[in-house]
Every structure is written in structure tokens, then in C-alpha cells.
Chains A and B, each alone.
Chain A
Amino acid sequence: MQWEVVIGLEVHAQLATQSKIFSGSSTTYGAEPNTQASAVDLGLPGTLPVLNEQAVAMAVRFGLAVNAAVAGRSVFERKNYFYPDLPKGYQTSQMDQPIVGPGELEILLEDGTRKSIRIHHAHLEEDAGKSLHEDFQGMTGIDLNRAGTPLLEIVSEPDMRSAKEAVAYVKAIHAIVTYLGISDGNMAEGSLRCDVNVSVRPKGQEAFGTRAEIKNVNSFRFIERAIHFEVERQIELIEDGGKVVQETRLYDPDADETRSMRTKEEANDYRYFPCPDLLPVEVDEAYIEHLRQTLPELPAEKRARFESELGLSAYDAGVLSASREMADFFEEVKDVCGDAKQAANWVQGELTGRLNKENLDIAVSPVSAAQLGGLIKRIVDETINGKAAKQVFAALWDGEGENADEIIESRGLKQVTDTGAIEAVVDQVIADNPAQVTQYQEAEPDKRGKMIGFFVGQVMKASRGTANPQQVNKVLKDKLDSLS
């Protein structure tokens, strides 16, 4: 049987506010446990929440960025349940009337195809604290530094049909929130994490299958793996005559599998009701319009501009606009060197390759955008050739010089374009390789083009890579052909 995968995602983006959503405590990551927990965060008797306007503005900006309907009136509700790291016995969240209504987001797949994913809604809520089991033998410690950190929960429609689409979607969300500056998107620190709903159904069937929810997956790679595992598990289960049960599962990256979080499904009744301590959130048109005016250029617009103005391919434009850091880096390289295509090639090729190899983020790239731009500029003006450029790049990476010019100078990598000098080297190479010259002369003319590569290599080697390859080609061809 042919199966179709159906995936929906709930992405939790931690908002980059200075203080918590309902108190004045700081939200800085990594502080000593419970140093950022005030009386309000501890849920001390008599304390009351006060809504952080910055969090509202950020949620509205997100809504505008995904062309969603921003609700003029949204309501905070209490989601009641007991947990040691939930200080008040309820989480203040939004259910019935969230601040961001339906919207949509375009995703770009690796093969260049695009697809629109519908966003069901996005709502504001507070994060809970953290339970620490390791440091206390037989006991549990509670750290409430994270309690009350503002989250925007972005809920998609079940529009994704593969793990790749799901990853592309989370990447697109990541791009939007970082472009907007409303979240740092740091998945390792939990600033962006998601719950993945996965089900399968026979191809052609309209009704959804029973879904399993995989909780708190916090890397692109894990999302893909968790889905792969879960899809296989569900298909095998059904094909063996079993039934998928609706449940919450956990992805274990070490074992690369998903596991049921609870042996039996507990009936959770959160008893939502409007929080009587908070007034409904009212945002008027003027406020929304004001925020609309201050939106930065977003990934889709940037991608379109990269294609139309800079003449990049759809694929290049997509990759380079996928994150704000990447886009900003690329644009600076382009501005310094003045050649968008070369800039695109180098950023995606040499630079990204090296960053990936050393597992570095572009934000901490050892080669700065200005340095890379300076290097490409010297390719464009033919001071150096591509081969020398790779040496310069490696030297810059290792911190051997302030800029490309310094390294070109100190290593003598300037391209030799003096025809006389090139002719001398060519003559020497021809003289040193009589056998190959004979071969060349005996070859059919249409094979000769390929054979000339050997001589080019020799010339480049002799010139330590500094000879202009086009010139070398031309001189060699002329000389070899004139010999016969």
C-alpha cells in the first residue's frame, strides 16, 4: 500500500523581550537558579500578573509577517494543572481568542519547489520553570528562572507531507522570527522548540489517520529523524494489523527513536477559563499599522529581490535569504566586491562548506564579510585567479592576515598576466615534455582540447598558481598548434 504522511507542527518561539511576560524579572539565559524569579514568578500569595507590552508587539509583528489576521481583542486564559515547576498551578495562555489568527508561510524545498503552509493561529503564553533531577540525590530541585518567559506558540495546519517539508517549515519560521528580531531562534538553548504531530493514511484517503505528538524536539536534524522513525513505526504497526493510538511521545536522539511518554493516556482536563487578573488585550488598527511600518524586509521579499535585482538563481536566492544572518553576511560581501554572483558562490560554497565542517555558525565566521568581499574583489579585478583565491581564503580563515591584499602581497600570489613571462614558462613546459607534445600532435583535433589540460596544469604548477589561466590556455594552444 502507498502511504501518505501528514504532519502538523506547534513551534514554541521564546520571545526576545527584556523582561518576563507578566513580571519585571530578567529573561537572560543561563543565570544562577532562581536569581531571576520575583514574588510574581514564584506565585506568592497576592501577587498579580502585568502584561509586558513588548511581548504583544512581537506577537503582532509575527502575525503581520505571515499575513495573518491580528485579533483586535485577544484573551488570556488559565490552563490549570499541577506540576512542581508550574508555580501558580496554572499556565497563563491563550486558547479561544489568540492574538494571531490564520496566516500562511511559504516554504522552499531543497529541490527548489515552493509550497504554502497554512498557519492555524499563534498565541502568547508563559513558559514554566525547570525541574533539576541530577544535582539532588533522590530529590528534585526547581529553577524558576525560566518561569514566565514569554513564548509565542505557532500552530500550523496539518499541511506538511514529509519530514523535509516539516524541516523547511521550521526553518522558515526560524527565518521569520530572527528577521523580525523577536526571538534569537537558538534551538540549543530551547529558544525555538517544537511539538510534531505525525500521522499516516493510505494515499488517496481523505480522512486523517490517528496522530502521535512528539514533544519538544529541538534541532532541525532531530525533527527529520523523529518524523522518519515515527512514520516507519506507524506504517509497520498498521501493516501488522495494529492501530496507532493517540498519544504523546518523546524523541530520544541517542537511541534515534520515539517512545511513549505515558503508558496509559491520561485524560487531561485543563479547565481553561479567562484569567480574571488580566484584561483582554486590545490592539487597534493604528497600532497594528505602526508596527507594519516598522517591519524589516522579510525572507520572501528578500528572496524576490535577490532574484530580480541581483540575478541570482531561485535556489541561491532561497538559501541566501533563509536566515537574516546569512542574508546580511551575503549582502555585505556583495557590496564590498561588487559582484553578486561571485559573492553568492563563495558564501554558499567555500564559506558554508568550511563553517559546516567545523560546525560553526555564520555569526562567528572566522572570515568576516568584509574580508571575503575584499578577497572576491581581487578575483573580479583579476589580481588573482581562482586557485590563488582558495589559498587566500584558507589564510584568512587561519588569521594569517588582516585582509586579502596583505596575504596576496606576502605570498606573492598576484596573477601573472605579462604575456612574455607566461610564454617563457610555456616554452619551458613544452621543452620539458616532448612525449606529451608528440601525443598531442598525433591526436585528432577534437581530442586536443582535453589534452591541453595537462600542459595548463604544468604551467600553473611552474608559476605557483599565479599565471592567468585564460592566457595560459591561449598561449599554449597557439604554440602547440603552430608546432604541428
Chain B
Amino acid sequence: MSSSIALHDKTLSELAQGLEAGEYTSRELTEAFLARIERLDGELNSYITLCREEALRDADAADARRAAGNAAALTGVPMAIKDIFCTEGVRTSCGSKMLDNFVSPYDAAVIEKLKAEGVVILGKTNLDEFAMGSSNENSHYGAVRNPWDLSAVPGGSSGGSAAAVAAGLAPAALGTDTGGSIRQPAAFCGITGLKPTYGRVSRYGMIAYASSLDQGGPMARSAEDCARLMNVIAGADPRDSTSVVRGVPDYVEGLDYNLKGLKIGLPKEYFGEGLSEEVEASVRAAIKVFEDAGASVQEISLPHTHLAIPTYYVIAPAEASSNLSRYDGVRFGHRCNDPQDLEDLYKRTREEGFGDEVKRRIIIGTHTLSEGFFDAYYIKAQKVRRLIRQDFLDAFDQVDVLMGPAAPTPAFDLGAHKDPLSMYLQDLYTIAINLAGIPGISVPAGLAGKRPVGLQILGPHFGEQTLLGVAHQFQQITDWHRQRPEFGQEQA
């Protein structure tokens, strides 16, 4: 790669190469990103907490390690972390007033792994409170703007991570995806984001929203970068019983994928009413690229797709209502002033600490789990969930991957969705994937005016290697992932 590309536009892989070649030190790299964040993030609001001191300390340690000759592949590269992963000694707010004062005494499993690799953590990125939202407008720390168009949302809930990577305020970031929260903001911000198979990456230390759906994963500028990050963060963890004991392949090796003979399925339900013409045009053009490279395409049906959103909005709030019970003002986090009694402590602490969307989902979840409604909602939703999963299993009997849009429209304007229900429909193409537990990746595949479009590629359980390989090959042919927003460029 040409060294004429500004540091902040390089991919993680390129930065690692530069470190290895001695073109710059981790401290220089880290300082450059910190300076850029301090200069530009006022407009974006992509970070909640900047870890300046810790980052420089870790950068120096990385440089020393490299000098000593025992650097790992990503030692010294900086990245950002969605503020839902616990980081020792640093505030972990989860975008909520409830945890505004929470400094975690421990590192999440993935943070431990990144630190062991020698990755430098620049800071903690903004998100919808407790990962509940599709626009990043539900954060206690304010909305995030989309660097491609400052009047647009970056998507959610990992909106801060997506905006930071797109704007060159971090070369890569960690996100989490419960109903599309990695893939949809990746699509809106023109970056690559992978939601791994449920159980592939440890959830330990990742603040729970809906435990059976939550999955952490990489957000970066390329599929290759996602593969490099997956090589670090994937694998079973004895502290997370739902993480799967299964060998981790080398995802970077899997990038060398031959598209000839690849069988692509197009779920017809993902190309129906509500899909914007611009998005459809970009996605179909992208699929044409694969066909030209020797892949075959067939239409597939996922007949229970229309049930995914209602099913999700029974299961996710049910689990959330229980997971968020621990925020009671007793042991950590926000506590109301001068509680009159125990009941008052609970009520006012939670009234003050949670935002509207979180309260809305707690109430929905409490209702669907309550006596008399449990069978009609929760049990029924679990049955439908099995049908949705089976749709995908059946599809992957016929094809290698499924392709479609990541979201029905490009990024929408801030404040566009006043009604929570219309916002929920944003996740039409991403939610079923979480219910089924399969992996999905979103890659940049075009622009609708100033706003990016994402192509979503889905694979069978533990098919990340194929997804990353297929996405990487697409990025060898196209350069959508190389496009950068104007934001911040003149100040490079």
C-alpha cells in the first residue's frame, strides 16, 4: 500500500504492517488518533470516554514489546471499544445515566484478549443506552452523527463505533449485535461489521441486554481487518457457559476464498415492500459482481421472516427486563438522593437512571413474562424462534451463503423516527439472524447520494470463515470499502 494514504485512512492491517516495518511507533500512531479525536469528535460525539493516559501507557508498552521482538500480529495498533464492554479502571457507562459513575474492577474477556495481543484502547464509544436502539439517539450522552452526512444517524446501537471508524477516529472498533447493532450501523457508516455465530466470542464482561441474542464482534474498514480481530477475540471461555467449545480456524487464511462455484441464495422476503430503490440497486449490483466472478445465484424463501420482529420484541425485552433488575441502586451505579424507604430507593433510582426506550422495553418484558401472558407471548415466541432458525438451516442445505440488504434504507435523518414502532421496523433484515444464532457480515456496497449502502452476507453456524472470505474477495474487486466521507479529510 502506498504510504501516501493518511494514517487515519489506513486499515488495521496496513497500520500493523507499518508498525512492523518501523515506519512509526505505536506511540506516534496513538497520539495521532488521540489528537484527531480531540479535534473532530466534538461534531460526531462518537466517544463517551477517551482513555488518553491508558492508551499512551499501553502504546509505550507495545513499542517496548515490539523492540524486544515478541510482538503479536496486532501489537501496538489502536482501536475503539463500544462502551458496553467492561474495562478495568475505566468507566463503563453502557450509554446510561445508571452507570455514569461505574468504573469496572475487571476486564471483559475480549478486552483481556485484546490487551494480551498488545492492542491499544483509545476510548469507549457511544451507543444506544444498554444497546437498545437503531439510531444511537437513545444515549444518555447524546446522539452520534453520521460522518458521511452530519444530519443523518450513524445507526445503532453500535453507532459510536461505526462513526468513529468511518471518520478515521479509530481504525477499528468492537461492537455488539443483538438485533443488528453491528451490521446496520456498519451499513449506515460504510464500514465492514461482522456479527459472529452466537457462542463464538465470549460474552463475559459484555453488559447484557438480551443474553440469548447478544454477540460481540469486530467493526473495521475491511473484511481482512475483521478477520484479524476475530483471530484475537474468538474462542471458548470457561466463564461464559454459552460460549461454544470448538476449534477456532485462522480467519486470515480463510480470506483466500475462491468465488467460483459459490452458491448464493437471495431471500425473496428481503427484497420486498419497504426496501428503498437505491439500496436495492446497490445490493443487486454487488450480487452481479459475484456472478461475474463465477458464483451462482438462486432465489430462496425464508417463510417466517415476517415473524422475526414481533418474536424479537417478545424475547429481547423479556430477557432485558430480568438482566436490568440488578440496577437497583444498592451495590453500584446511580442511586437516588435520600430514599424514604426501600421501595422509594428502587423506584426513584430506576426512574432517574434509565431512559425512555429502556423503560419501555423493561415494561414490555415484565408484561410478557408475567403470569397469564407467559404462554401466549414468551413460549409462543420461542416456538416461532425455532421455526425462524429452521428456515435458515433449510436454506443452507441449498446454498453456501445468503445475500441481501443490511437495512431497508440508507441512514435516515436524526429525529426521523418519532414512533418507536417505526424504528423497530429498521431491523427487518438483521433481527432474524440473531434469533437463529447464525453469523452475518455487512460490507460497503455503494452510495445512495452521500449515504452508504451495506450488503449483508449470511452464513450457517460457525461459517464466519466463509463470510470473511467472500467479503474479502468482494473487496478485492470493488473499492466501496475504500471510500471515505468528506468529514475530517481537509484537516488530515
Contacts from A to B (Cβ < 8 Å) = 39, 42-51, 78, 80, 82, 84, 87-90, 142, 269, 271-273, 276-279
Chain B, Cβ-Cβ closest to A268: B371
**Pairwise interchain contact B241-A277, C-beta atoms closer than 8 A:** yes
**Pairwise interchain contact B240-A271, C-beta atoms closer than 8 A:** no
Distance in Å from the Cβ of A122 to the closest Cβ of chain B? Answer: 22
**Pairwise interchain contact B330-A84, C-beta atoms closer than 8 A:** yes
**Pairwise interchain contact A43-B238, C-beta atoms closer than 8 A:** no
Please provide the chain B residues from 195 to 225 with a CB less than 8 Å away from any CB of chain A in the complex. 203-208, 210-212
**Pairwise interchain contact A46-B325, C-beta atoms closer than 8 A:** no
B9: Cβ under 8 A from any A Cβ = no
**Pairwise interchain contact A39-B325, C-beta atoms closer than 8 A:** no
Contacts of A88 in B (CB 8 A): 325-326
Kindly identify which residue among B204, B324, B378 contacts A46, using a CB–CB cutoff of 8 Å.
B204
Chain A, Cβ-Cβ closest to B108: A46
Kindly identify which residue among B242, B322, B346 contacts A78, using a CB–CB cutoff of 8 Å.
B322
**Pairwise interchain contact A273-B326, C-beta atoms closer than 8 A:** no
B252: Cβ under 8 A from any A Cβ = no
A-B contact pairs, 13 of them (CB 8 A): A42-B331, A45-B92, A45-B99, A45-B104, A46-B104, A48-B240, A50-B239, A78-B322, A88-B326, A89-B325, A90-B322, A273-B318, A277-B211
A48, B206: Cα distance in complex, Å? 9
**Pairwise interchain contact A46-B328, C-beta atoms closer than 8 A:** no
**Pairwise interchain contact A48-B239, C-beta atoms closer than 8 A:** yes
Contacts of B24 in A (CB 8 A): none
Distance in Å from the Cβ of A136 to the closest Cβ of chain B? Answer: 14
A272, B371: Cα distance in complex, Å? 9
A49, B238: Cα distance in complex, Å? 10
A78, B450: Cα distance in complex, Å? 47
A269, B322: Cα distance in complex, Å? 13
Contacts of A84 in B (CB 8 A): 328, 330, 342
- 3 closest cross-chain pairs (CB), A and B: A89-B325, A276-B211, A271-B369
**Pairwise interchain contact A39-B331, C-beta atoms closer than 8 A:** no
**Pairwise interchain contact A50-B326, C-beta atoms closer than 8 A:** no
Please provide the chain B residues from 306 to 333 with a CB less than 8 Å away from any CB of chain A in the complex. 318-319, 321-322, 324-326, 328, 330-332
A45-B102, A142-B330 known; A276-B94 Cβ under 8 A: no
A39-B106, A48-B203, A48-B204 known; A271-B326 Cβ under 8 A: no
Interface size band for B? 35 or more
A39-B106, A142-B330, A271-B370 known; A45-B322 Cβ under 8 A: no
Please, what's the 1-or-0 string for B157-188, where 1 marks a CB less than 8 Å from any CB in chain A?
A: 00000000000000000000000000000000
A78, B342: Cα distance in complex, Å? 22
**Pairwise interchain contact B241-A44, C-beta atoms closer than 8 A:** no
A42, B212: Cα distance in complex, Å? 22
A42-B331, A44-B332, A47-B205 known; A273-B378 Cβ under 8 A: yes
Contacts of A43 in B (CB 8 A): 326, 331
**Pairwise interchain contact B331-A50, C-beta atoms closer than 8 A:** no
Kindly identify which residue among B104, B346, B374 contacts A273, using a CB–CB cutoff of 8 Å.
B374
Distance in Å from the Cβ of A73 to the closest Cβ of chain B? Answer: 15
**Pairwise interchain contact B208-A46, C-beta atoms closer than 8 A:** yes
B296: Cβ under 8 A from any A Cβ = no
**Pairwise interchain contact A45-B207, C-beta atoms closer than 8 A:** yes
**Pairwise interchain contact A48-B241, C-beta atoms closer than 8 A:** yes
**Pairwise interchain contact A279-B242, C-beta atoms closer than 8 A:** yes
A269-B370, A271-B374, A273-B374 known; A49-B241 Cβ under 8 A: yes
Kindly identify which residue among A47, A142, A272 contacts B204, using a CB–CB cutoff of 8 Å.
A47
**Pairwise interchain contact B342-A44, C-beta atoms closer than 8 A:** no
A42, B328: Cα distance in complex, Å? 12
A51, B330: Cα distance in complex, Å? 25
A271, B369: Cα distance in complex, Å? 5
B366: Cβ under 8 A from any A Cβ = yes
B449: Cβ under 8 A from any A Cβ = no
A278, B105: Cα distance in complex, Å? 24
Contacts of A142 in B (CB 8 A): 330-331
Contacts of A276 in B (CB 8 A): 210-212, 242, 319
Contacts from B to A (Cβ < 8 Å) = 85-86, 92, 94, 99, 102, 104-106, 108, 203-208, 210-212, 238-242, 318-319, 321-322, 324-326, 328, 330-332, 342, 346, 366, 369-371, 374, 378
Contacts of B332 in A (CB 8 A): 42, 44-45
Contacts of A78 in B (CB 8 A): 322
Contacts of A42 in B (CB 8 A): 331-332
Kindly identify which residue among A44, A80, A272 contacts B104, using a CB–CB cutoff of 8 Å.
A44
Identify which of A88, A90, A271 gathers the most chain B CB atoms within 10 Å of its CB. Answer: A271
A395, B436: Cα distance in complex, Å? 76
Distance in Å from the Cβ of A277 to the closest Cβ of chain B? Answer: 5
Chain B, Cβ-Cβ closest to A140: B342
Identify which of A39, A45, A49 gathers the most chain B CB atoms within 10 Å of its CB. Answer: A45
A88, B327: Cα distance in complex, Å? 8
A51, B242: Cα distance in complex, Å? 11
A44, B326: Cα distance in complex, Å? 8
**Pairwise interchain contact A82-B211, C-beta atoms closer than 8 A:** no
Kindly identify which residue among B94, B212, B371 contacts A45, using a CB–CB cutoff of 8 Å.
B94
Distance in Å from the Cβ of A210 to the closest Cβ of chain B? Answer: 20
Contacts of A90 in B (CB 8 A): 322, 325
Contacts of A82 in B (CB 8 A): 325, 328, 346
A427, B306: Cα distance in complex, Å? 113
Distance in Å from the Cβ of A321 to the closest Cβ of chain B? Answer: 40
Distance in Å from the Cβ of A137 to the closest Cβ of chain B? Answer: 16
Distance in Å from the Cβ of A140 to the closest Cβ of chain B? Answer: 8
**Pairwise interchain contact B242-A80, C-beta atoms closer than 8 A:** no
A277, B346: Cα distance in complex, Å? 25
**Pairwise interchain contact A271-B322, C-beta atoms closer than 8 A:** yes
Chain B, Cβ-Cβ closest to A42: B331
Chain A, Cβ-Cβ closest to B208: A46
Contacts of B319 in A (CB 8 A): 276
Kindly identify which residue among A46, A271, A278 contacts B206, using a CB–CB cutoff of 8 Å.
A46
A278, B208: Cα distance in complex, Å? 14
Contacts of B238 in A (CB 8 A): 50
A46-B204, A48-B203, A50-B241 known; A273-B322 Cβ under 8 A: yes
Contacts of A272 in B (CB 8 A): 369, 374
**Pairwise interchain contact B322-A80, C-beta atoms closer than 8 A:** yes
A50-B238, A271-B370 known; A39-B105 Cβ under 8 A: yes
A142, B240: Cα distance in complex, Å? 27
Distance in Å from the Cβ of A33 to the closest Cβ of chain B? Answer: 13
A44, B208: Cα distance in complex, Å? 11
Contacts of B203 in A (CB 8 A): 46, 48
**Pairwise interchain contact B211-A45, C-beta atoms closer than 8 A:** no
Chain B, Cβ-Cβ closest to A267: B371
Identify which of B205, B242, B326 gathers the most chain A CB atoms within 10 Å of its CB. Answer: B326
Distance in Å from the Cβ of B378 to the closest Cβ of chain A? Answer: 6
Chain B, Cβ-Cβ closest to A81: B325
Kindly identify which residue among A51, A89, A271, A273 contacts B241, using a CB–CB cutoff of 8 Å.
A51
Contacts of A277 in B (CB 8 A): 208, 211, 241-242
* With A89-B328, A90-B322 already in contact, 13 other A-B pairs whose C-beta atoms are closer than 8 Å: A46-B104, A47-B204, A48-B241, A78-B322, A87-B326, A89-B325, A90-B325, A271-B369, A271-B370, A271-B374, A273-B322, A273-B369, A276-B242
Contacts of A51 in B (CB 8 A): 241
Distance in Å from the Cβ of B368 to the closest Cβ of chain A? Answer: 9
Distance in Å from the Cβ of A241 to the closest Cβ of chain B? Answer: 33
Chain B, Cβ-Cβ closest to A84: B330
Contacts of B324 in A (CB 8 A): 89
Contacts of B242 in A (CB 8 A): 276-279
Distance in Å from the Cβ of B223 to the closest Cβ of chain A? Answer: 28
Chain A, Cβ-Cβ closest to B379: A273
Contacts of A50 in B (CB 8 A): 238-241
Chain A, Cβ-Cβ closest to B326: A43
Identify which of A78, A87, A273 gathers the most chain B CB atoms within 10 Å of its CB. Answer: A273
Distance in Å from the Cβ of B375 to the closest Cβ of chain A? Answer: 11
Contacts of B105 in A (CB 8 A): 39, 44
**Pairwise interchain contact A271-B106, C-beta atoms closer than 8 A:** no
A269, B366: Cα distance in complex, Å? 10
